[in-house]
């Protein structure tokens, strides 16, 4: 999923200061799962913004709504009426959702979240980065553990000298991805895989080639 965290309230109050009627728009997908921008978080932020505005002697009207998926035009179309009545939109979706709204509507759209990374749930309330979206997946030869997303140096052929006792030198909280890969290959009986040299990666499939696009010709209209 795409993970995100709420921006500081002060930043959001700065965005909405010139406006009186705000549509606070959540998303039912990734940001709901990572407890950043679902219906519950929309409710919390609406309360907080109203109280903070009231404290500074201003009254702001906040309409709460949560879309099924803010990165799809079909769903974004559904809120045309609500957007029409608002002076500005504060989106609690990831950056994709915010931009979908900004592309569709000629109203100011502000992000309420900082979009962080593509990650998985480690345990309740903890998410970690698992995929860097490099466009050319290596997981098939690295035991299902990504050296791009999980190695601080994005190394392709084994650990650097900063790996000690299975931990990365950047912080003791981060396991060495290549240590994990080796352990996994050992458990799978595939250590010969480690001896295969992975050639230098072509980053054109990542963002090195500029903004990316997928066109499925059988589906595209």
65 binds other proteins (CB under 8 A): yes
Strands (E), the chain: 2-6, 21-27, 61-67, 88-91, 109-111, 113-123, 126-131
Give the nearer residue to other proteins in terms of CB position, either 38 or 147: 38
H-helix segments, 56-131: 73-77, 80-85, 95-104
Give the nearer residue to other proteins in terms of CB position, either 50 or 153: 50
* Number of residues binding to other proteins, judged by CB under 8 A: 21
**Out of 1, 15, 69, 82, the residue judged to bind other proteins by CB under 8 A:** 82
Binding residues for other proteins restricted to 199-218, rule: CB under 8 A: none
> How many degrees, rounded to 5, is the angle at CA 183 between CA 179 and CA 187?
170
88 binds other proteins (CB under 8 A): no
Adjacent-strand bridge partners of 23: 63, 89
Q: At closest approach, how far in Å is the CB of 221 from other proteins? A: 30
Q: At closest approach, how far in Å is the CB of 70 from other proteins? A: 14
Binding residues for other proteins restricted to 19-48, rule: CB under 8 A: 40, 43-44, 46-48
Which residues have C-beta within 8 Å of that of residue 24, sequence separation ≥ 6? Answer: 42, 45, 46, 49, 62, 63, 64, 65, 90, 92, 112
69 binds other proteins (CB under 8 A): no
77 binds other proteins (CB under 8 A): no
How far is residue 121's CA from residue 28's CA, in Å, rounded to a whole number?
Answer: 17
Residues that bind other proteins (CB under 8 A): 8-10, 40, 43-44, 46-48, 50-52, 54-55, 59, 61-65, 82
């Amino acid at each position: 999923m795409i993970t995100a965290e709420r921006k500081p309230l002060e930043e959001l109050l700065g965005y909405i200061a010139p406006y009186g009627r705000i549509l606070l728009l959540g998303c039912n997908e990734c940001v709901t799962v990572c407890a950043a921008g679902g219906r519950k978080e929309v409710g919390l932020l609406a309360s907080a913004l109203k109280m903070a505005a009231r404290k500074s002697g201003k009254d702001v009207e906040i309409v709460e709504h949560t879309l099924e998926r803010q990165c799809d035009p079909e769903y974004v179309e559904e809120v045309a009426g609500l957007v029409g009545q608002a002076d500005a939109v504060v989106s609690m979706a990831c950056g994709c959702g915010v931009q979908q709204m900004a592309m569709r509507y000629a109203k100011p759209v502000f992000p309420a979240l900082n979009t962080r990374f593509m990650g998985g749930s480690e345990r309740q309330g903890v998410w970690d980065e698992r995929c860097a979206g490099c466009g050319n997946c290596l997981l098939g030869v690295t035991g299902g553990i990504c050296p791009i997303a999980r190695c601080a140096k994005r190394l392709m052929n084994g650990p650097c000298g900063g790996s000690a006792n299975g931990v990365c030198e950047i912080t003791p909280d981060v396991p060495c991805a290549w240590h994990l890969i080796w352990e996994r290959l050992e458990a799978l009986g595939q250590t010969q895989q480690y001896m295969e040299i992975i050639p230098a990666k072509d980053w054109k499939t990542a963002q090195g080639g500029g903004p990316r696009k997928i066109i499925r010709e059988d589906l595209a209209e």
